[in-house]
Chains A and B, each alone.
Chain A
Amino acid sequence: MLEASIFATVLCGFLGTIFKKNLVMKIISMDIMSTGVIAYYVLVSSRDGVFTPILSLKNDVSYADPVPQAVILTAIVIGFSIQALMLVGVMKLSKDNPTLETQVIEENNTP
C-alpha cells in the first residue's frame, strides 16, 4: 500500500514535468518526484524495523537500516542545491519572459 502511494507520487511528479506549461510548475513537479524517491528510500530502510539505529540499553528491538537513510541524505542535499540553482536561472529568465511559459521561452531561445 505504502509502496503504491510512493510510486503514485513519483508518477504524478513525472507527469507534471511533462504536462505543466509553466517553468516554475515544472520545477515544483520535479520536487514532488524527488519527494517520492526520498520516501521510497525511507520505506526500504524501514523494512526490518522502525527503531532509530542508535545504540541504547534496549537490546531486543528491530532497528531501521541506516544505510539508505545516510545515502538519501546526500541525495536530498544535492537535489535541493540543484533546485536552488535552477530557480536562480528562472529568476534571470523572468526579466524578459514574465509569464515563464516554457513554450514561449523555448521559441525565443532556439535558433
Chain B
Amino acid sequence: MTTLSNRTETVTMNSEREWEQCYAELAPRLVLYARQLTPCMADAEDVVQNAFVRWWRRCPTGDREHVPLLFAAVRTIALDLRRGTMRRNRREGESYLAEEAREPGYFDSTAEQKDLARLVAASMEGLPEEQREVVTMHLWGGLTFAEIAEAMGASINTVAARYRYALKALQRKLEPMKEALMEPLTTPTLASMARPERLYQSQS
C-alpha cells in the first residue's frame, strides 16, 4: 500500500502543478472578462474562483479545447451573481451599478502604457456589454469567433458583427490619438491627449 499512496501523492503534486500552470495562463484573461460583467474586481475574482474550480473538476487536463467552457462558466456565474445582487439591491434601494463601485484596472499597464490602458478601459466602458464581451474574449482571451459563439450561445455571425461594431466604436474613440498611440508611448503629447473625459466631450 505504501507504493500506492506514494503514487497518489506524486500524482496529486503533478496535478497541482498542472492546475497552477493553467491558472497562471488563464486567470488574467478570465478576470478581465468577468470584470466586463461585474461592477468590481472583488466580484470578478469571486466569479473566476467559482468558475475555475467547477471547470477544473470537470476537465482536470486543462485542454485548450475546453477553455470556451470555462469562459461560458464565468459568464453564467457572473450573470447569476448579478441577478442575485440586483434583486437584493432593489430590496435595499441601492443601485447595482453605483458609480463608486466602478473601479478601473482592466490592464496591467507599465508606465509607458498607463495612458493607453486608461484610455482603452474608458472607451470599453462606453460599449454595450455584449460587444465588450466579444472584444475581451477575442483580443485578450484568445478565443475564436466560433468558440465565443459557443460560450455566449449566439451565432458566429452575431459574434462577428458585435466585434466589428465594437472595433468601429473603439476606433472612433481612439482615432484622434491614433498617431500618438502608435508611436513610442512616452511622448508628452499623449499624456495630455489621453483623457477619457475629453473623448466623451468630443463625442457629444
B is a partner of A: no
